[in-house]
Amino acid sequence: MRRFPPRLRLTILTPLALATALGGCTFDTPFGARPAATEPAAPAMVPAPPPKAEPARPAPLSPLAANDSPFPATATVTGPAAVRLLAGDPIALRFLTIRRLLADGLITPDDAKQRVDANIGGLLPLTAAPPAVGLTAPIPSPPSLVARMRALGDEAGTGVAAEKKFLLDSILPAAPAERQALRPADPAAARALPARLDRLVETGLITPPEAAAEKAALARFIAQPAQTPKLEPKPAKIVRRKGPPRPAPYQGFKPVYVPNPPGVAPPPLKAGFTGPAGVQLLAMAARAYGPRAWDTLSHMYPALAPLSYKVVKASLGDLGTTYRLIAGPLKPDAAIALCKSLTAKGQSCTPTPFPK
């Protein structure tokens, strides 16, 4: 057997002996204690980040009391059926939208009441004050408007309140700046309104007493007599002609005449005269006055218009010469009657034979 040198043997055996000794011994010191067999420790976990805080949603409005709503609680048609019943009536659909926003807690009762009271004349045009201008314009469907208001209620920000107010004012203004009377145009249009009032009652927009009062006003409106509008006379159209103005045929000139001197009267009609007679109207200083004098007198006295006239020169001796204007011819009785008529009107007239 081969022996190892002592130093070498010690070097080899010492670790083996130490390992053998340690393998069968236990120690009370913590440093030499062998840990009991356990499951391997789980790896350390990284803590999860805290959940992101969601924006607080506004609490819904408290349920309405029976006397808080400006609308009656007697609706028999609701939901989509009410929208179909009021289709084609933009004013009624606006009120229906406000009613739904109030029922869903999206507006306050005070806000709804203010908007309804300010525009109720759109539903009751004869018994309430006129509503805001523009309510007859079409609007989106009530469900879409309610959905938009609900979406705005979930958002936060300073602009949301302004957008809500703008949306509500576009439906029913709370304080109309301008108002528009919606009275029926005529009895024919008024006859179609009682059926509309029945629809408004069924959808809970007005009360039965309000509908009855409006129907009574409509009956009085239909029974009133039709009024024919007064037509203002159209002003005469003035046509301006180019060139100098035309002289008027009658200027209203009344010529100065010289009365017959005493004793120099025109020849009278003798008893039994059967020839053509005339009437002397005036005496003139010159023959040239004749046409103008006749034009004036025939316009002043229409009875002279059908007659003709003659200008007769008469010598007055030392007094000179005069020119007599005689109208005719007439029968003697007609000449006498004409002179009586003209004399009563202030015109000088003497029956005389009509000159040949």
Going from the first residue of the chain to its last (356 residues), give the mean pLDDT of each consecutive group of 10, the final group possibly shorter: 43 40 40 42 50 43 52 91 93 95 93 94 94 92 91 69 88 93 88 93 94 94 72 68 52 50 72 92 87 90 93 81 91 93 90 92
* Whether residues 121 and 190 fall in one domain: yes
Evaluate whether residue 264 is within a structural domain. Answer: no
Evaluate whether residue 239 is within a structural domain. Answer: no
* Whether residues 288 and 219 fall in one domain: no
Evaluate whether residue 33 is within a structural domain. Answer: no
**Is residue 354 a contact partner of residue 278, using CB atoms and an 8 Å limit?**
yes
Write the secondary structure of the chain as one string of H (helix), E (strand) and C (coil). Answer: CCCCCHHHHHHHHHHHHHHHHHHCCCCCCCCCCCCCCCCCCCCCCCCCCCCCCCCCCCCCCCCCCCCCCCCCCCCCCCHHHHHHHCCCCHHHHHHHHHHHHHHCCCCCHHHHHHHHHHHHHHCCCCCCCCCECCCCCCCCCHHHHHHHHHHHHCCCCHHHHHHHHHHHHHHCCCCCCCECCCCCCCHHHHCCHHHHHHHHHHCCCCCHHHHHHHHHHHHHHHHCCCCCCCCCCCCCCCCCCCCCCCCCCCCCCCCCCCCCCCCCCCCCCCCCCCCCEEEEEEEECCHHHHHHHHHHHHHHCHHHCCCEEEEEEEECHHHCEEEEEEEEEECHHHHHHHHHHHHHCCCCCEEEECCC
Output the pLDDT for position 22. Answer: 38
* Whether residues 199 and 288 fall in one domain: no
**What is the rounded distance in angstroms from the CA atom of residue 336 to the CA atom of residue 157?**
108
Q: At what angle do helices 90-103 and 193-202 cross, to 10 degrees?
A: 10
Where a domain ends, among 179, 200, 223?
Answer: 223
Q: How many domains does the chain have?
A: 2
* Whether residues 86 and 216 fall in one domain: yes
Rg (CA), the chain: 60
* Whether residues 295 and 208 fall in one domain: no
Output the pLDDT for position 270. Answer: 87
Evaluate whether residue 14 is within a structural domain. Answer: no
Output the pLDDT for position 19. Answer: 38
Of the candidates 196, 197, 225, the one whose C-alpha atom is nearest the C-alpha of residue 210 is 197
Evaluate whether residue 196 is within a structural domain. Answer: yes
Evaluate whether residue 74 is within a structural domain. Answer: no
Q: Domain limits at 315? A: 277-353
**Is residue 126 a contact partner of residue 221, using CB atoms and an 8 Å limit?**
yes
Tokens of 203: 């959808």
* Whether residues 338 and 216 fall in one domain: no
Evaluate whether residue 217 is within a structural domain. Answer: yes
CB-side neighbour CA atoms (13 Å) of 185: 2
* Whether residues 185 and 314 fall in one domain: no
* Whether residues 218 and 283 fall in one domain: no
* Whether residues 209 and 286 fall in one domain: no
* Whether residues 87 and 200 fall in one domain: yes
Q: What is the pTM of this model?
A: 0.47
Evaluate whether residue 244 is within a structural domain. Answer: no
* Whether residues 138 and 209 fall in one domain: yes
Output the pLDDT for position 37. Answer: 45
* Whether residues 87 and 214 fall in one domain: yes
Strand order through the sheet with 350-353: 308-315, 321-330, 277-284, 350-353
**Is residue 321 a contact partner of residue 264, using CB atoms and an 8 Å limit?**
no
**Is residue 167 a contact partner of residue 148, using CB atoms and an 8 Å limit?**
yes
